[in-house]
Amino acid sequence: MTRSRFAKLATLATILALAVVMLGAYVRLSHAGLGCPDWPGCYGRLAAPSQPEAVAAANAAFPERPVHTAKAWKEMVHRYLASGLGLAILVLAGLAWAGRRSAGLPVGLPTLLVALVVFQGLLGMWTVTLLVNPSIVTLHLAGGLATLALLWWLTLSQGRLWVAHVSPELAALRPWAWLGLALVGVQILLGGWTSTHYAALACTEFPTCHAGAWWPPTDFAVGFSLLRPVGVDYEGGVLDGPGRTAIHLTHRLGALVVLVYLGLLALVLVRRAGQPVHRRLAKVLVAVLALQVGLGVANVVTQLPLALAVAHNGGAALLLLTVLTLVHSLRPAAGDLAVRPDPALAGVAP
């Protein structure tokens, strides 16, 4: 297995991971997260019950959750695709270990991905068994995006993508790019928390919240309590208005912070960039950032249509990958690493 072929397989796995994340968002936003009340099957079957006899048997076995065939199939297709992603990651890890000496393939990151995908499977199970508990569902979303990000990093590093000369001025921006990545990660978690608490429409206006108020009554203690009672069905949400409003407004403030920070970072990057690669990357960052903010506003103004809500999740994933690409592009290439003499040896003859 050559490095270039390994990079192509990592690219395919990254695309599959993005599809899993998008489909997971669609399942959650279409209220199909409990389309199958058990795990890993669906009403005790490997496929969602569709035939009348199968539906009747499923309803008898799970009277508390009657079969909704369309929702059950959405959930099962997501599980099938996620299983395919897990298999692809196992293949990548196996190839990495097999080619660690002959091709110099990395083994640390693929092994980490295997552990992460196993944990993701557990979170998927707990999402169902704990009745879409907000903390578990948010962790599941974070795990999916972490898997996507690590696969993309593997693709970038093995495919030698977005690599260019990094001047000292550009290299100084790398810590700031890491901070931008951290801010995007926090904002994604806030977005997941907003979605899992059904708080996306806690504010029905923009830029005000509702009834012309910028800051209506809020309850941050309730909204951001990480300990939720076990055994409660959280589908549809259980918080009152002030708790949901606190979550929504925090997400809005987070979006403003990310917009200003990444916008300034892109501006500085354009001014310091000496290579076309970094100028293009700055333009991509601005475009994705504008798209994501526009989708967020449109979701409020149009009252959260499913297509826009799913697209907003996709925009978050693209923004994460874009900033991760920026971090990677600011790594010094091999030719940029100069050997600096030790000052203690100055003047000493060889």
Residues paired with residue 269 on neighbouring β-strands, in sequence order? none
Residue 34 CB: number of other CB atoms within 10 A?
19
Please write down the HEC assignment for all residues of 15-57.
HHHHHHHHHHHHHHHCCCCCCCCCCCCECCECCCCCCHHHHHH
* Contact (Cβ atoms closer than 8 angstroms) between residue 142 and residue 151: no
> Which residue's entry shows tokens 């967020």?
296
Give me the residues of the chain with pLDDT under 50, please: 334-350
Judging by beta carbons within 10 Å of its beta carbon (0-12, 13-18, 19+), is residue 163 exposed, middle or buried?
Answer: middle
The confidence score (pLDDT) of residue 349 equals 36
The confidence score (pLDDT) of residue 335 equals 45
> Which residue's entry shows tokens 């990310």?
258
Residues with Cβ within 8 Å of residue 116, at least 6 apart in sequence: 143, 146, 147, 150
- For the stretch 235-277, pLDDT in tens is 999 999 999 999 999 999 999 999 999 999 999 999 887 778 8
Q: Is 251 helix (H, G, I), strand (E, B) or coil?
A: helix
| Catalytic site positions | 75
The confidence score (pLDDT) of residue 273 equals 78
Locate 146 and state its tokens: 């972490």
Residue 129 CB: number of other CB atoms within 10 A?
13
The confidence score (pLDDT) of residue 311 equals 98
Mean pLDDT rounded to a whole number for the chain? 92
Helix (H) or strand (E) holding 221: helix 220-223
pTM for this predicted structure = 0.92
Residues paired with residue 210 on neighbouring β-strands, in sequence order? 213
What value, to the nearest 5°, has the Cα angle with vertex 227 and ends 63 and 129? 25
The confidence score (pLDDT) of residue 347 equals 40
* Contact (Cβ atoms closer than 8 angstroms) between residue 144 and residue 20: yes
The confidence score (pLDDT) of residue 103 equals 85
Q: Report the C-alpha gap between 139 and 60 in whole angstroms.
A: 32
The confidence score (pLDDT) of residue 333 equals 62
The confidence score (pLDDT) of residue 62 equals 95
- What single-letter DSSP state applies at residue 116? H
Measured in degrees and rounded to the nearest 5, phi and psi for residue 220 equal: -75, -30
Residues paired with residue 42 on neighbouring β-strands, in sequence order? 45
Measured in degrees and rounded to the nearest 5, phi and psi for residue 210 equal: -160, 155
Q: Report the C-alpha gap between 263 and 268 in whole angstroms.
A: 9
What one-character-per-residue DSSP string does 47-86 give? S---SHHHHHHHHHH-TTS---HHHHHHHHHHHHHHHHHH
